[in-house]
Structure 1
């Protein structure tokens, strides 16, 4: 597979899975001590990656759980933030300035802070109350967040089958390698067909809305300097559909949760207008070893793996490195 370091990928994913005992110990302690609300704090991609777990909590739990933008939290404040709050942060490098400032702000308000990163000596790891460390460059954080949220909801009596889910996640590194291998032909074909496409229209919903936002902004815009529109499938018919034309590249992310019909509806309309509609659907991947009732929860992780292959092939056909930046962490701002 193009640009895919399988041993490194397996090791990184295994390091995320290996955090299960520490995550469960942490969750159990927090539940036993008691807390009133949970903030999932991020910046850019790490903010978007919190949304599936806010979504899970919102539809399953009475606990106040919200995803928040780190910089906005510091600028605007939060009346619910205090000594009975828990705030979770994720950062690949552990050096994201907005998140570092948000950790300081949360701690100044008495909140208990948790950090997931791959670097134990990074500013984020050093400044949170507890840091849970995976191998360097481990991405995404879905395994850790799903274990945390699943255990939390299970302890609250709001999620059945957590132990079964967590046991099945032990095999997720191998499962995701299989996903990557199966995605390779479609990823290569999409990139070849769109090497000169300068604008993409992305649609997703449910627990894939965060990934839709992330792939649009953090990959296509930041890493490939392409213009995009991103819209939630439930909001597609309230304005954004007017941008579709026969040659518009429409990328649809389809998962397996209860919002699937909303994305089906958007796809059906998009195909009436555009002749260039591509659907990336988690149903296309067997995920052997994962029970049917858990497949929907894994959609963000599966799509991240699939689109990781697309990204590498776009890098190839467009001769545009995914590491190239003009402004991000290049200029002061």
Structure 2
């Protein structure tokens, strides 16, 4: 509840700061890597619930190099970086110069927090002691829900806030359930390269992070991310009995898209196809009116802390090591 109150208070202050200069017109979410993917649930919520406020996401470097002209005093710009990634700091500077009100999500103080009008400290998803309602993706989603509720009203706001009170316990139960499943998956896919990760709608951000941050960055295994809705428009042609596919099955309005790809995977794929169903990790414990928006909040930490670690152990690859990151100039 303390985190919820802080976010509600900061969101109100940010909205008030913008409204001194006119009506809030846009919210932009800017970050890099896993932090960028972590904003996916916030963006997904805004696009599907906000009627008046436009919302977009940008990778930090793209925003810094080509800042949209609409970013001005009527914009709230939310940035996320654990340690102050240089591209994210450069993007925040651009947003400030354009007149936007800047909110920074952070773990360690940096140039980003110095630039920000408001800042919120979050807990790392990779730390076992972290509470899931306090990680960056949850904070971003809470901000999005508060912005919409503040400006337009969100009828399920209280249910959603109650949902954040439940997610950590649901996650802890899911960890116990999935650990033996992850161990089996890792053994079956230890020699696979690439490992395709598939999802759609509210779970796509979790799939994206699993691909680029967990499998590729941490374990140096190629891992394309495929949208279940796009699977039948090209990617399904690479499927055979030896193809490694990790399919997330979401709860909510996009579930039928995931189920369609599941049917095809079961018919034409082999034993390297793996399904992780949101219903089986506890998303059904949340109210149906808000559970869709929590797909990422539960999928992402389970993928990082259970499945990635299982694959790391089986392949004997230390997930803390890198080939280039922090080692060479880039």
Q: TM-score higher than 0.5 here?
A: yes
- Whether 1:65 aligns to 2:61 is no
Distance apart, 1:95 and its partner CA: 2.1
Which residues of 2 match residues 1-333 of structure 1 at below 5 A?
A: 18-32=2-16, 33=19, 34-62=23-51, 63-92=53-82, 94-119=83-108, 121-135=109-123, 140-275=135-270, 276-286=272-282, 290-307=286-303, 308-333=305-330
Distance apart, 1:286 and its partner CA: 3.2
**Closer, same or farther in 2 for the Cα pair 1:305/1:235, shift >3 Å?**
same
- Measured in 2, the distance between the counterparts of 1:61 and 1:322 equals 39
Unpaired segments ≥5 residues, structure 2: none
- Measured in 2, the distance between the counterparts of 1:76 and 1:127 equals 19
- Measured in 1, the distance between the counterparts of 2:186 and 2:252 equals 28
- Measured in 1, the distance between the counterparts of 2:152 and 2:217 equals 41
> What is the SS of the residue equivalent to 2:242?
coil
- Measured in 2, the distance between the counterparts of 1:59 and 1:214 equals 22
Distance apart, 1:252 and its partner CA: 0.4
Contact kept, 8 Å, 2:33 with 2:209, in 1: the verdict is yes
- Measured in 2, the distance between the counterparts of 1:135 and 1:235 equals 33
Unpaired segments ≥5 residues, structure 1: 1-16
**Closer, same or farther in 2 for the Cα pair 1:269/1:75, shift >3 Å?**
same
**Closer, same or farther in 2 for the Cα pair 1:161/1:226, shift >3 Å?**
same
Contact kept, 8 Å, 1:52 with 1:206, in 2: the verdict is no
Distance apart, 1:180 and its partner CA: 1.2
**Closer, same or farther in 2 for the Cα pair 1:21/1:135, shift >3 Å?**
same
Count how many residue pairs are aligned between Structure 1 and Structure 2. Answer: 315
What TM-score results when the alignment is normalised by the length of structure 2? Answer: 0.90
- Measured in 2, the distance between the counterparts of 1:202 and 1:287 equals 20
Distance apart, 1:79 and its partner CA: 1.3
- Measured in 2, the distance between the counterparts of 1:234 and 1:56 equals 19
- Measured in 2, the distance between the counterparts of 1:281 and 1:127 equals 41
What TM-score results when the alignment is normalised by the length of structure 1? Answer: 0.89
